[in-house]
């Protein structure tokens, strides 16, 4: 003990002030300890001296070994082999446990061999390590279950990637770890991504988000959105990020843009055809077809028109590819007899592969298609007002075969409807031009009917006028002019003559319905003026038989009406396409229109505005034709990205409708129907009076119909719940006057939805 006491004296200050607990062991027993040892073990110096390490240990260590056996092994190794360092679980007298780092070193004092034990409490460190391990375990669990790719870049290589990331690249995580990230990006994106990584590692950037292109192992290009942040990992700058495959969303947006451009083009071509002057229609039809071919990537378009009851003659041929062309004045039966026969009874004929889709009996058709280089074709009937076949339009692919999609079929069908009505107008124009030509010939040969009337009796009639009525000139002399007018026209003629007698110096021009000698009715145009003959008032004038012109004008008017109607039909067709793509909302737009019209009528809105509101309501969701079908019918809550994609239907609908000259305000009503009084709506966050009244009415009607109808993500809530919602948000989201009127017409039974009915 003298040596020990000498040691204590020599190192007392160091021994007693040490941060760690220090023990001196003689064999297996403690023979001395410092103050820190008493504090750490929460006991006294006297209790520690003479005890063994096993006395202050649980029966078993965390690895399952007996503490008593393990401590003796450690002491023996320290004495015989060399210094020992290890972790040890201690147990105080009160039963509490703590972990410690223990080091055992042999200490020789004279002839005495002792052990110096240093014990450091690592409870906090172990707790921190446990938390870190638990955090890392949770991170890995979340990461591996995530549908979003997650990665860590350290020292310019991937040090961690989850399965979702590896799936985008089409490999395993192990194949990615340790590789240079830049190697997996498309050459177009490498410079940009390299700059992003270097800027973060250097600290110039912390968090960024951007889009890039990645190359999968099969060389497929995938579009990705990357969100990354600079972190410090193992005392070094690193990057942790997430990666989302947005290839499908990009394709959907590209398709949406293509559809918007197509509908803009179709609207422009429609307006040009509608507004084309007499004689310009053929050129407008050709120009429009060329633009449509380029938009839809079609190599050739052939239009055939009936020559007689059984033959179709080539009308026009638009070819974008060099090669043989169909001769002028060619008949369809001489080249495509089987196709011609099919299209006499079928509205369309789709051949994605001339090689495989034509039947054996279509030998001449096959030979002709091969000669002209056609590999795929889609045909439609051109139908007139009376559903009569006015021709055939054929869209051809020459460069390659083409599998016609449903979307392409619908677009080509819209084009065929448009050109059907254009053909109707063309035929009417041809008849009108032909009629006018005849009139010019008659005029140049003085075949216009001329007359003189006194006291309402014919005193002179030329042979041209007599022939108009089927009489001889002699039979008409002395005849009362009223005898040649239809009974329904007599009162109108009296008013016209009375007005003429009051305005002596104004020439008279009018039309009336006449009756020929055989009872046949004819349309006549009269130009006359008063004069004095033989000292008596007289009327001298000319008469034109305008029956044919009237008929031609009516046909032209009908053609114009039909062309306008084609625009309406096209819009309604597109609205129906939206409903077909989302069966859960079928009839929604029609019912919204019913309610919107009822509210506006009750409010006393101008009838012209009601008409525009009705049209807007019928097609207010037309933009959903550009939204992926799976989003329209998806049950449950939509993700933020999906919701944003849905919201684009307002912009899409506006783009489709805004250029239609026939609908000046409908586009704006559609554009604003998701705006709210407080500015919380979209797309432009309009407030209060900045929102059109028609859009405010449409917003309320849309809400009530939607809440009272079934949706894939919830059952119908009923009218009462919808009206309660209006009460809650009246004045905040919705116009109070519109809300009040809507509630009124339901409470007073002035309105109910009519399923299957149409407001058109």
Say yes or no: 740 and 627 in one domain.
yes
Between 638 and 167, name the one with better pLDDT.
Answer: 167
Contact between 646 and 627 under an 8 Å Cβ cutoff? The reply is yes
Weakest-pLDDT range from 221-225, 520-524, 742-746: 520-524
Any domain includes 273:
no
Please, is 382 exposed, middle or buried when counting C-beta atoms within 10 Å of its C-beta (0-12, 13-18, 19+)?
buried
| Burial label, 116 (beta-carbon count in 10 A; 0-12, 13-18, 19+) | middle
Q: Please indicate whether residue 436 or residue 596 has the higher confidence score (pLDDT).
A: 596
Same domain? 241 vs 111:
no
In angstroms, rounded to a whole number, what is the distance separating the alpha carbons of residues 347 and 357?
Answer: 18
Beta strands in 363-462 (DSSP E): 376-383, 389-397, 449-454, 457-461
Q: Are residues 116 and 133 in the same domain?
A: no
pLDDT in the model for residue 721: 92
Of 664, 631, 665, 635, whose CA–CA distance to 647 is shortest?
631
Higher pLDDT residue, 382 or 595?
Answer: 595
Question: Strand pairing partners for 302?
Answer: 317, 394
Helix (H) or strand (E) holding 23: strand 21-26
Work out the mean pLDDT of the chain and round it to a whole number: 84
pLDDT tens for 686-698 read: 999 999 999 999 9
DSSP 234: T
667/727 same-domain check = yes
Residues 625 and 653 both lie in one domain: yes
Report the distance separating Cα 227 and Cα 244, nearest Å.
Answer: 9
Give the model's pLDDT for residue 444. Answer: 38
SS3 302: strand
Q: Which of the four pLDDT bands, split at 50, 70 and 90, describes residue 387?
A: confident
Q: Tell me, what CATH number does 651's domain have?
A: 1.10.3210.10
For residues 114 and 154, state if they share a domain: no
Q: Is residue 253 part of a domain?
A: no
pLDDT tens sequence across 593-614: 999 999 999 999 999 899 899 9
User: What is the mean predicted confidence (pLDDT) over 130-159?
Assistant: 77
Residue 217 CA to residue 167 CA, distance in Å, equals 10
Would residue 657 count as lying in a domain? yes
User: Which one of 81, 99, 121 terminates a domain?
Assistant: 121
* pLDDT at residue number 13: 67
pLDDT of residue 1: 47
Sheet with strand 536-545: strands edge to edge: 457-461, 449-454, 536-545, 521-533, 508-515
Confidence of residue 30 (pLDDT cuts 50, 70, 90): very high
Give me the domain span that covers residue 167: 128-245
Give the angle 708-713-716 at the CA atoms, nearest 5°.
Answer: 20
- What are the φ/ψ torsions at residue 752 (nearest 5 degrees)? -150, 150
Structure-block tokens of residue 100: 């410690």
In this predicted structure, the answer to whether residue 457 has a pLDDT above a threshold of 60 is yes
Local confidence band at 439 (pLDDT 50, 70, 90 cut-offs): very low
- Let me know whether 80 and 142 are in one domain: no
Q: Can you tell me whether residue 648 is helix, strand or coil? A: helix
Same-domain check for residues 56 and 157: no
Least confident of 37-51, 144-158, 186-200: 144-158
Consecutive H or E run containing 119:
strand 112-121
CA 61 to chain centre: 65
Please determine, for residue 575, whether its predicted confidence score (pLDDT) is greater than 50: yes
CA dist 267 and 663 (Å) reads 11
User: Residue 226's beta-bridge partner residues?
Assistant: 210, 243
The answer as to whether 537 is a domain residue is: yes
Give the angle 261-564-303 at the CA atoms, nearest 5°.
70
Q: Which residues contact 571 (CB under 8 A, 6 or more apart)?
A: 618, 619, 622, 657, 660
Angle at 344 between CA 338 and CA 346, to 5 degrees: 95
Say what the pLDDT of residue 383 is. 82
Separation of alpha carbons 117 and 105, rounded Å: 7
> Both 623 and 660 in a single domain?
yes
> Has residue 274 been placed in a domain?
no
Please identify, among 72, 95, 121, the residue that sits at the C-terminal boundary of a domain.
121
Q: What is the pLDDT of residue 61?
A: 93
Identify the pLDDT of residue 433. 65
pLDDT, residue 744, reads 95
Domain-embedded: residue 677: yes
How many structural domains comprise the chain? 4
Q: Which residue has the higher pLDDT, 148 or 440?
A: 148
The encoded tokens of residue 547 equal: 């029956």
- Summarize pLDDT for 276-299 with one digit per residue, the tens: 776 777 788 888 888 888 888 888
In the prediction, which pLDDT does 441 show? 54
Least confident of 47-51, 477-481, 667-671: 477-481
Residue 403 pLDDT > 80:
yes
Q: Is residue 307 part of a domain?
A: no
Confidence (pLDDT) at 662: 53
Residue 104 and residue 151 in one domain: no
Q: Are 117 and 134 found together in one domain?
A: no
- Flag whether pLDDT at 52 surpasses 60: yes
Q: Is 30 exposed, middle or buried (0-12, 13-18, 19+ CB in 10 A)?
A: buried
> What's the pLDDT score for residue 440?
44
Specify whether 188 is located in the same domain as 205.
yes
Kindly report, residue by residue over 230-260, the tens digit of the pLDDT: 988 888 899 988 898 888 888 888 888 888 8
Q: What SS3 state is found at 477?
A: coil
pLDDT recorded at residue 320 = 75
Phi, psi of 527 (to 5 degrees): -120, 125
Nearest to 339 by CA among 317, 365, 369: 365
Q: What is the pLDDT of residue 498?
A: 44
Residue 100 clears pLDDT 90, i.e. is over it: yes
Phi, psi for residue 228 in degrees, rounded to 5: -140, 155
Residue 157 is part of a domain; what is its CATH number? 3.30.450.20
pTM above 0.75, yes or no: no
User: How far apart are the C-alpha atoms of 368 and 122, rounded to whole Å?
Assistant: 91
d(CA 635, CA 270): 39
User: What residues contact 133, with CB distance under 8 A and at least 6 apart?
Assistant: none
Is the peptide bond between 683 and the residue preceding it cis, with omega within 30 degrees of 0?
Answer: yes
Each residue's pLDDT tens digit, 348-367: 999 999 999 999 999 999 99
Residue 439 belongs to a domain: no
Residue 436, both tokens: 């006018």
CA distance between the termini of the chain: 114
C-alpha span between 653 and 667 (Å, rounded): 8
Q: Which of 522, 545, 568 is where one domain is finished?
A: 545
């Amino acid at each position: 003990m003298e040596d020990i006491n000498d040691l204590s004296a020599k190192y007392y200050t160091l021994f007693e002030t040490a941060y760690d607990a220090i023990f001196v062991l003689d064999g297996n027993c403690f023979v001395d300890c410092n103050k820190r040892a008493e504090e750490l073990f929460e006991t006294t110096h006297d209790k520690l001296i003479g005890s063994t390490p096993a006395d202050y240990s649980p029966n078993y260590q965390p690895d399952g070994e007996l503490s008593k056996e393990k401590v003796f092994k450690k002491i023996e190794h320290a004495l015989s082999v060399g210094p020992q360092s290890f972790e040890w679980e201690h147990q105080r007298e009160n039963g509490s446990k703590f972990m410690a780092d223990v080091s055992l070193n042999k200490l020789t004092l004279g002839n005495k061999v002792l052990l110096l034990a240093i014990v450091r409490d690592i409870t906090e460190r172990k707790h921190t390590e446990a938390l870190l391990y638990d955090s890392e375990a949770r991170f890995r669990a979340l990461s591996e279950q995530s549908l979003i790719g997650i990665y860590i870049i350290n020292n310019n290589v991937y040090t961690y990637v989850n399965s979702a990331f590896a799936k985008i690249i089409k490999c395993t995580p192990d194949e990615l770890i340790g590789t240079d990230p830049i190697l997996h990006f498309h050459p177009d994106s490498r410079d940009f991504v390299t700059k992003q990584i270097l800027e973060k590692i250097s600290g110039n950037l912390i968090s960024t988000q951007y889009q890039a292109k990645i190359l999968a192992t099969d060389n497929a290009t995938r579009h990705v959105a990357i969100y990354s942040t600079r972190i410090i990992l193992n005392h070094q700058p690193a990057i942790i990020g997430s990666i989302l495959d947005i290839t499908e969303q990009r394709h959907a947006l590209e398709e949406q843009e293509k559809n918007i451009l197509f509908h803009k083009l179709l609207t422009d071509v429609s307006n040009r055809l509608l507004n084309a002057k007499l004689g310009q229609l053929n050129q407008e039809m050709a120009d429009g077809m060329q633009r449509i071919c380029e938009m839809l990537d079609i190599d050739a378009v052939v239009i055939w028109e009936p020559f007689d009851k059984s033959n179709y003659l080539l009308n026009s041929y638009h070819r974008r590819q060099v090669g043989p062309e169909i001769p002028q004045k060619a008949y369809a039966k001489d080249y495509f007899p089987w196709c011609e026969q099919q299209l006499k009874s079928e509205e369309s004929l789709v051949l994605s592969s001339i090689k495989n889709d034509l039947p054996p009996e279509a030998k001449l058709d096959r030979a002709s298609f091969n000669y002209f280089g056609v590999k795929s074709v889609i045909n439609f009937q051109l139908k007139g007002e009376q559903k009569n076949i006015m021709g055939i339009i054929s869209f051809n692919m020459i460069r390659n075969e083409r599998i016609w999609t449903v979307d392409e079929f619908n677009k080509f069908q819209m084009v065929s409807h448009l050109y059907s009505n254009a053909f109707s107008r063309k035929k009417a124009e041809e008849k009108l031009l032909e009629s006018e030509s005849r009139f010019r010939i008659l005029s140049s040969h003085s075949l216009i009917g001329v007359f003189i009337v006194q006291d309402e009796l014919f005193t002179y009639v030329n042979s041209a006028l007599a022939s108009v009525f089927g009489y001889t000139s002699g039979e008409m002399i002395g005849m009362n002019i009223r005898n040649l007018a239809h009974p329904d026209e007599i009162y109108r003629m009296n008013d016209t003559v009375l007005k003429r007698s009051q305005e002596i110096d104004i020439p008279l021009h009018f039309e009336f319905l006449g009756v020929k000698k055989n009872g046949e009715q004819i349309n006549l145009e009269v130009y006359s003026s008063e004069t004095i003959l033989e000292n008596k008032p007289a009327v001298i004038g000319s008469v034109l038989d305008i029956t044919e012109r009237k008929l031609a004008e009516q046909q032209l008017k009908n053609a114009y009406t039909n062309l306008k109607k084609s625009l309406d039909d096209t819009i309604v067709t597109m609205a129906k396409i939206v409903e077909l793509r989302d069966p859960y909302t079928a009839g929604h737009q029609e019912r919204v229109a019913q309610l919107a019209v009822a509210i506006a009528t009750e409010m006393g809105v101008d009838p012209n505005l009601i008409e525009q509101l009705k049209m807007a309501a019928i097609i207010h969701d037309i933009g959903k034709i550009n939204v992926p079908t799976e989003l329209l019918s998806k049950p449950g809550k939509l993700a933020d990205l999906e919701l944003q994609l849905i919201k684009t239907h307002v912009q899409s609908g506006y783009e489709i409708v805004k250029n239609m000259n026939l609908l000046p305000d409908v586009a704006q009503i559609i554009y604003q129907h998701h705006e709210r009084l407080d500015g919380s709506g979209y797309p432009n966050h309009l407030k209060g009076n900045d929102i059109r009244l028609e859009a405010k009415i449409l917003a309320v009607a849309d809400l009530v119909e939607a809440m009272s109808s079934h949706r894939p993500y919830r059952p119908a809530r009923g009218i009462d719940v919808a009206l309660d919602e209006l009460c809650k948000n009246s004045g905040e989201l919705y116009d109070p006057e519109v809300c009040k009127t809507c509630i009124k017409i339901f409470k007073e039974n002035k309105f109910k939805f009519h399923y299957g009915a149409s407001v058109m």
